[in-house]
Amino acid sequence: MMKKALICGISGQDGAYLAQLLLNKGYEVYGTSRDVQMSGFGNLQKLGIKEQIRFESMSINDFRSVFQILRKIKPDEVYNLAGQSSVGLSFEQPVETLESISVGTLNLLEAIRFTDLPIRFYNACSGECFGSTTEEGATEETPFRPRSPYAVAKAAAFWEVANYREAYKLYACSGLLFNHESPLRPERFVTRKIITAACRIAQGSKEKLQLGNLNIRRDWGWASEYVDAMHRMLQQDKADDYVIATGKSYALEDFVRISFEKFGLDWKEHVVSDPAFLRPTDHFMGLGNPNKAKRDLNWVAQNQMPQVVEMMIEAEMANTKTKKKTSVTVEQES
């Protein structure tokens, strides 16, 4: 029989790639939004899969709404990718961040418990929970030391999942995903900000790219690979938590340098460090140890930061060419 999957947060980067993966595997895919009629689902349109998704309006912070949707769809798998997703924005909206992530996760877990259906539940956790890691990288046993409201919220949700797995025997697991990027990232994320600025400057823009601390190090991977790990977690005999990462970190300066080198440019001529972009608290090193995922899930990241930069630039330039062609066509028609 065709499996049913419910993706909460389907409009985001991970939700769109996950929907694409599950459709390719023959799933019947449902996606939720607070108000389906008002949501554009732009990422699903970019991937050309919007028409294959079934949408339901659901407020993840309203237990009754969550419970009703689960009873209606009766999914085999539920993927919780919903909630405020920006670390930087969480400092400006800490209450909304905590509520959308921790309360939303709790409502899903409790609704699954009340339906008494054999639902397998995936929760999107984050490598941000660890704070600064060592050069060996964080494992599933590394203590949490969150350094942002976003990380605090994700840590709370992680322990909710662990508790429901142990206390109520739910099939529930969390993926501790380190940074993963793609062209579907909004420009408020620093990686997309860098890529789009480098492309504009290469085409003649005189702007200066303003960034914060260029010395921070992160473990960057490719988003469409990471959603494959999510799916694999729910196919195991026993629910468990996994660190998903490339196992290699780079400085933000490296990301910037490689981005500009792709166009033969010296990044130092186009980038300025602005204290306004520094976070109230931050961590220096972000590095994950994905050995458990390799052992249990047979999952290994295929692309690291240099390849991520190259693919994001290719997509951005292709998108720019498409916009120019569309603009020319419109002008000719008018």
Q: How far apart are CA 137 and CA 179, in angstroms?
A: 13
The residues that are catalytic are 126, 128, 150
Spatial CA neighbour of 233 closest among 288, 172, 289, 178: 172
Tokens of 234: 């729910």
DSSP category for residue 143: P
What is the token pair recorded at 35?
């108000």
Q: Is 186 helix (H, G, I), strand (E, B) or coil?
A: coil
Scanning the chain, the segments in alpha helix (DSSP H) are 13-24, 42-46, 63-73, 87-90, 94-98, 104-115, 149-167, 190-202, 223-233, 252-261, 291-297, 305-333
Closest CA to 5 of 79, 59, 72, 58: 79
Taking phi first (over 0 means left), then psi (-120 to 50 degrees means alpha), and beta for anything else, what does residue 53 get? beta
Contact assessment for residue 270 and residue 312, using Cβ atoms and an 8 Å cutoff:
no
Rg (CA), the chain: 20
Which residue in 199, 189, 215 sits closest to 89, CA to CA? 189
